[in-house]
Amino acid sequence: MDIFPISLKLKQQLCLIVGGGSIAFRKASLLAKAGAILHVIAPEIDENLKMLVQASHGELVYKPFDEAYLNKPYKLVIAATDQPDVNHHVFVVCEQKNLLVNSVDDIPNCRFMVPALIDRSPLVISIASNGTSPVLSRQLRTQLETLIPHGMGKLAQFSGEWRKAVKEKISNPDERRIFWEDLYASPFKEQVFNDNLIVAKQMMEDALAKWTTPKGEVYLVGAGPGDPELLTLKALRLMQQSDVVIYDRLVSPPILDLCRRDADKIYVGKSRSNHAVPQEGINQLLIQYALEGKRVCRLKGGDPFIFGRGGEEIQELVTANIPFQVVPGITAASGCSAYAGIPLTHRDYAQSVRFLTGHLKEGSPELPWPELIYENQTLVLYMGLVGLETICNRLIEHGQRPDMPVALISKGTTPEQKVIVGNLENIAKKVVQHEVQAPTLTIIGEVVKLREQLQWQ
């Protein structure tokens, strides 16, 4: 994050605009809406801008910029002239005086940027691109305008009027947050939107009267194979409302960033032969935090019920009488194969697909080898990179042809995705040649041939 977004209170505060044209007027309009007192300095000042300044009880100075004018207690300064050298001079002087300064459409001469705004006062949403693409910010604002009801401003105002009462009733800040989240998920919100404030007031009073300390809950959430856009809507919602997030190494950083910012995030590892926290410890963490009344998100790469030990964790929760929800995720086999352009089934090549774990137990894979030797079948191996050579040799020994196509998909669906194609006989050597690293998915079958035609990533 290259910029730190803040909301600045400017009501009855002095703000200076250098420049008197249409650009200066646009910026002045935003400052005026925030209640600022406007001062404008320029040799010529647009008539609309002049009226705006007068309405704010501000000051008009008809002369070129003079740094002596900065001796007044300005909260911020905007340089909006059509002369780059003047704007630069304003920036330099403001920097010397530690004044917040913005030069319109001139990133190097800005200490702050003016974002695109969605105004649902008192709710205000800003969208900023660090000055790199203001048009894109405005387009996003337009899209969000259609998604955010105008009644959100009324809801924010109504909530603010009850904030003190809720705080007095519910002293714990985490519990207060849960109270508001539950309230906003109820019909209460629509009553405020429709100006049924008497009904909304009664609903608020009832909710406060019935409030009890919430019980903890565990969300077993599949995070998918890596691309954050593959998350389900329910997964994102529960990630956003969780107090604690317990995650492993297969959860990509962009997905983790989508969790609630102030949630406690606990890394439990789960890489081969190196578990930061053993499975028994993870089970205990889920129970411990839930018993404390927390909403716990157990965030797993892929799908929690496909080689994710989700079933084991749920068994422990059932035994401990902990309520839980399970949110399926796009498993690595589906996501990685799709991003690699390899369909797992195809009428001409494969009429079935089998998911297998490539983990070796005591150095030897325990797989039903005879059942795997079938021409029109796709095999998908999870966690099979270390034992790949052994697995390929076993398949050949049990009758599979050595030239059966094989694809390795490393870090699938992410920007670092790498796909290596070979066959049973040579794929293990290619792991070394191409320095393939985990997490890696292995696909074995004739469908691998389709990658050359269908790859799109």
Q: Which domains does the chain have, with CATH numbers?
A: 14-114 (3.40.50.720), 152-209 (1.10.8.210), 217-330 (3.40.1010.10), 333-454 (3.30.950.10)
For the residues 35-51, what does the mean pLDDT come to? 96
| Angstrom distance (rounded) from CA 247 to CA 276 | 11
The SS3 call for residue 402 is: coil
Tens-place pLDDT, residues 258-271: 999 999 999 998 65
Q: Rounded distance, CA 333 to CA 225, Å?
A: 9
Alpha-carbon gap, residue 261 to 184, rounded angstroms: 19
- pLDDT, residue 270, reads 62
Is 248 among the catalytic positions?
Answer: yes
Alpha helices per DSSP H over 148-278: 152-169, 173-184, 188-193, 197-209, 233-241, 253-256
Residue 106 has pLDDT above 60, yes or no: yes
Matching residue, tokens 């004044």? 99
Calculate mean pLDDT across residues 430-442. Answer: 92
pTM for the model = 0.79
**Residue of 27, 154, 189, 270 with catalytic role:** 270
Q: Which of 46, 243, 248, 303 is catalytic?
A: 248
Pairing label, strands 440-444, 405-410? antiparallel
Take residue 123 and report the two structure tokens written for it. Answer: 């709710």
Tell me the average pLDDT across 359-370: 70
Asked whether the predicted pLDDT for residue 177 surpasses 70, the reply is yes
The percent of residues in the chain predicted with pLDDT above 70, rounded, is: 97
Question: What is the per-residue pLDDT across 384-431, written as a single tens digit (0 to 9) for each?
Answer: 888 899 999 999 999 999 999 999 999 999 999 999 999 999 999 999
pLDDT of 359 higher than 80: no
Q: Is the pLDDT of residue 365 over 70?
A: no
DSSP codes of every residue in 325-385: EEE----HHHHHHHHHT--S-BTTTBSEEEEEE---BTTB----HHHH--TTEEEEEES-S
- Residue 277, pLDDT score: 86
Instruction: Work out the average pLDDT over 98-106.
Output: 94
- Report CA-CA distances (Å) from 100 to 23, 380, 407: 18, 57, 55
What's the DSSP call for residue 35? T
CB-based burial label for 369 (10 Å; 0-12, 13-18, 19+): middle
Quick: pLDDT tens for 320-341. 999 999 999 999 999 999 999 9
**270 given a catalytic annotation:** yes
